[in-house]
A and B are shown apart, each in its own frame.
Chain A
Amino acid sequence: MVNSAALKQEEALPAGMSLELSNVSHGFSLHGEVLPVLSQVSLNVQPGEFVALLGPSGCGKSTLLRLVAGLEPPTQGALIADGEAITGPDPSRVVVFQDPTLYPWRTIYDNVALGLEARGLLRTHKSRIDDALKLVGLENFHKAFPHQLSGGMAQRAALARALVNDPRLLILDEPLGKLDSLTRLTMQSEILDLWQRAGFTSLLVTHDIEEALFLATRVVVFSPRPARIVADIPVDRPYPRHRGDSYLADLRHKLLGLLGMDATW
């Protein structure tokens, strides 16, 4: 679905962002008590890496992404992007959530235009909207409203809304979690394609081991809540990868073991 002609028109994208998390801890106060969610997470991400964060459901991976996005400040520790502390949201770090959260009152085109509009770049960078829509194969859906799209198309539109801002870090919070399995596989390839071309750094939260191994250059495994890093495993395999690859199968076995699901192998 990714249109390669559209990408050639794109101006050269800046390289990915580097990320440095040191001793990040976070908690929520619940009925007066502090519920720890993240515990002493330290992680370095090189520019252009594709890092998958893997862990049991509800362990706090998504909270980590919210901290990286700047939507919340951490209780403890430091988050540094390109040598500067993260103090708030920034359009260079864009999130794609599990739900596409398109604005139902805006057309697809206007949804994708959101970031440019918010930053007052609508006039000067208008062509980027068409490029982004082409990139995700939605060039014929400018005037459609979100409720008229299928789940996969809506998530593609959300992806276009992120890409139009030329992010240097793309934060993916289980973006394919609610899609059917075939659409999921197709979109995994599309995301990979976009990442390879644009060169941004990618941070993906998922609990699908196969997805992590198919996409990421590195898989970071978290413990149940409060999340700590249990393992940090490089996936040293060239792209395009094959799902049946025996090297990946071995890694999969290993990851299942780390997640305490060894018995199912």
Chain B
Amino acid sequence: MSSSSATIDQTPELVSGVDKPQAANRIWVGGLVAAAAWAAAAFVTGFIPDDDDWGYSLQLAHLLAAAAVVLTLSGLFLPRLPVLYGRVRAKAAWLVVLALGLAVWELVTAKLGWLPRPFFVPPQALLEVYADEWRKLAECTYHSVLLLGSGYLLGAFAGFSVGVAVGWSRIAAYWGHPLLRFIGPLPATAWLPIAFFIFPSSWSASVFLIALATAIPVAILTWSGVSAVGSAYYDIARTLGASQRFLVLKVAVPASLPSVFVGLFMGMSASFAVLVVAEMMGVKAGLGWYLSWAQGWAAYANMYAALVVMALMCSSLVALLFRVRDHVLAWQKGLLRW
């Protein structure tokens, strides 16, 4: 968009580049282009006749039209809200491509029927699933998050404790190191048959597997973090009268936290994989179960819908972990950039 250097010269106190005096007259061109794209998608959906009898075509067209209206209003008035505008304005290209992608998807499935059915479904089929099955999907998401959360937190705690112990104590290293090296590379899913046999329920077996998948990278990265702490840090604390306990909790642990978080991220990816497998193989709830159940009924729209929910769940959890890290490792901001 046009940034007006003249305005900034006149009002040097506005350093941000968002010049308030002019903002009232300005419009967000990118937003209007995006609005046109969404309107086009709405037109394609609403006015081109369907190839087959699809429910929810009209509802989808209404939704797309509503998006076009919101974007039109944004294009006209959003520059008056500088904070929000600053965040959204760069997303215009994404909004345009998203609408065009939806329109093409709509064309090649519902309108022209070029893609083989029933494997490929139009967007309104997903909409239909969300409208009819949102209760069930929410329930499945709840079960998945509960299972994943229990296993992940347990595994993160166990892995962290083992990592600190192995990194700190010679005895723990003597016994722990070979075990970690031997068991560590084995994918947690390899334990699945044994776990389902040993544990009283498939739920507890799955918690164990998710915990195991999480714990191993966390343990290894915590261990390497603790053993990488410079001896100078310990010397300082020792000359100031620190006890062993203080050296572990107040020196080794905080110094190794950046590495611990790398382990937590790796553990999270591993836990997702185990969650889906566990739910597909044994647990009778959750999004993984829903996926395999939908596949069994050849309900492909439900599969895609669940996949989207699952992607949202996973990316939200990763985003949450990022927030936690940014908070805990705020002191690193000046050292590292991300």
Contacts and interface: CB of A to CB of B under 8 A. Distances in A.
Nearest to B238: A89
Interface centre among B230, B237, B239, B329 (most CB of A within 10 A): B239
Nearest to B241: A91
Given A97-B236, A101-B236, A147-B334, A118 B241 contact: yes
A71 B238 contact: yes
A198 interface: no
B229 to A, nearest CB: 10
Interface string B131-147: 00000000000000000
Nearest to A91: B241
A115 interface: yes
Given A101-B232, A103-B254, A105-B254, A115 B331 contact: no
B255 interface: yes
B257 interface: yes
B237 A114 contact: yes
Nearest to B251: A103
B240 A115 contact: yes
A262 interface: no
Interface in B16-30: none
B243 A147 contact: no
Contact of A103 (B233, B239, B329, B332): B233
B240 A148 contact: no
B199 interface: no
Nearest to A148: B334
A44 B250 CA distance: 36
A95 B232 CA distance: 11
28 contacts: A69-B235, A69-B239, A71-B238, A90-B239, A95-B236, A95-B239, A97-B235, A97-B236, A99-B232, A101-B232, A103-B233, A103-B254, A103-B255, A104-B335, A105-B254, A105-B255, A105-B257, A105-B332, A106-B254, A114-B240, A115-B240, A118-B237, A118-B241, A118-B242, A119-B240, A147-B334, A147-B335, A161-B240
Of the four ranges (under 10, 10 to 19, 20 to 34, 35 or more), the interface on chain B belongs to: 20 to 34
Interface of B: 230, 232-233, 235-243, 246, 250-251, 254-255, 257, 329, 331-332, 334-335
A93 B334 contact: no
B331 to A, nearest CB: 5
Given A91-B241, A148-B334, A161-B240, 4 more contacts: A69-B239, A104-B331, A106-B331, A147-B335
The 3 A-B residue pairs whose C-beta atoms are closest, nearest first, are A115-B240, A91-B241, A118-B242
Mostly, the A contact residues are loop
A201 interface: no
B213 to A, nearest CB: 29
Given A99-B232, A117-B250, A118-B246, A105 B239 contact: no
B239 A71 contact: yes
Nearest to A100: B236
B335 A97 contact: no
Contacts of B331: 104-106, 145
B239 A89 contact: yes
A104 B331 CA distance: 7
A70 to B, nearest CB: 8
Interface in A93-130: 93-95, 97, 99, 101, 103-106, 114-115, 117-119
A165 interface: yes
Contacts of B257: 105
Contact of B334 (A97, A99, A145): A145
B241 A89 contact: yes
B260 to A, nearest CB: 12
A114 B255 contact: no
Interface string A144-164: 010110000000000001000
A159 to B, nearest CB: 13
A69 B336 CA distance: 34
A227 B134 CA distance: 79
A115 B235 contact: no
Contacts of A69: 235, 239
Contacts of A93: 239
Contacts of A115: 240-241
Given A103-B254, A105-B255, A147-B335, A90 B241 contact: yes
